[in-house]
Amino acid sequence: MPKLKTHKGAKKRFHISAKGKVLRTKGPKSHFRRRKAKRTKRLLGGKVGIDSNVMAKGIKQALVGSSR
């Protein structure tokens, strides 16, 4: 049986937490940074879990080949 490959686009956008949740980064961080307020940039800094179980399942399948 051949090895399963990791989807490289998913690998760059998502990662799986220690408890198995799929995490994504928040949106428009790097565009028009000078215009945005410091608070806005700070709030965009963290990671967010994905709410939809169906989407999370698909993302986990795309990340099958990677170690985490």
pTM here is: 0.74
CATH number of the domain that residue 38 is part of: 4.10.410.60
**Residues 7 and 59 sit within 8 Å (Cβ to Cβ):** no
What is the total count of domains within the chain?
Answer: 1
Domain contains 19: yes
What confidence tens digit (pLDDT) does each residue in 8-59 have? 999 999 999 999 999 998 888 888 888 999 998 888 888 899 989 999 999 9
Domain contains 32: yes
Give the integer Cα–Cα distance in Å for 57 and 55: 5
Domain contains 68: no
Its domain, for residue 50, covers 8-62
Q: How large is the C-alpha radius of gyration of the chain?
A: 15
Residue-wise DSSP of the chain: -PPPPP-HHHHHHEEE-TTS-EEEE-S-SSSSTTTS-HHHHHHTTSEEE---HHHHHHHHHHTTTS--
Domain contains 3: no
